[in-house]
């Protein structure tokens, strides 16, 4: 559990102590989690930074959350591909993480060309799932961060 306390929870609690509201922190973390799981490798960091800058959100908070999603991002690529294929009634393609990473080693351009249909299907599915995930995460995390903020302010008295 130390791996989550040090690099993830510690900085988020520090942001609460510095005065970020629980609602803003919950929004940053919810967006970071959802965008951190986008099924297109290499775009989540840039996308989170752009959203944070455009909407004046806390850049460290959103980046911490998206960084923590790296393992789940890889794990969710195939399910997003399958969901997209099912939603679009597309034929199932033989896609695997191992084959995808082997293609990436041949160059990103080549991988994008070969995996284009899978990328489109996965992105379509993610675009449908992400808004609901952000909403639900925001609601849950707001409660968690309000409780944490109350404990912080109680401890300071």
Sign of CA dihedral 16, 19, 25, 28: negative
3-class DSSP string for 85-150: HHHHCCCCCCCCHHHHHHHHHCCHHHHHHHCHHHHHHHHHHHHHHHHHHHHHHHHHHHHHHHHHHH
**Burial grade of 77 (CB within 10 A; 0-12, 13-18, 19 or more):** buried
CA 29, CA 24: separation in Å to the nearest integer? Answer: 9
| Axis crossing angle, helix 22-36 with helix 59-68, rounded to the nearest 10 | 40
Q: Distance between CA 18 and CA 84 in Å, rounded?
A: 41
Per-residue pLDDT of the chain (157 residues; tens, 9 = 90+): 555 566 778 888 889 999 999 999 999 999 999 999 999 988 999 999 999 999 999 999 999 999 999 999 999 999 999 999 999 999 988 877 788 778 778 887 887 888 899 999 999 999 999 999 999 999 999 999 999 999 887 766 5
């Amino acid at each position: 559990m130390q791996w989550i306390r040090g690099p993830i929870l510690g900085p988020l609690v520090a942001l609460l102590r510095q005065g970020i509201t629980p609602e803003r922190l919950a929004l940053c973390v919810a967006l970071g989690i959802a965008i951190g799981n986008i099924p297109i490798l290499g775009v989540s960091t840039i996308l989170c930074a752009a959203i944070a800058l455009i909407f004046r959100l806390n850049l460290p908070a959103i980046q911490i959350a998206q960084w923590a999603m790296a393992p789940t991002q890889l794990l969710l690529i195939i399910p997003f591909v399958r969901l997209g294929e099912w939603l679009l009634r597309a034929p199932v393609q033989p896609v695997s993480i191992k084959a995808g990473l082997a293609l990436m080693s041949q160059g990103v351009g080549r991988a994008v060309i070969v995996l284009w249909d899978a990328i489109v299907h996965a992105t379509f599915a993610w675009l449908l799932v992400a808004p609901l995930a952000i909403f639900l995460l925001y609601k849950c995390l707001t409660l968690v961060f309000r409780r944490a903020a109350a404990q912080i302010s109680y401890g300071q008295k």
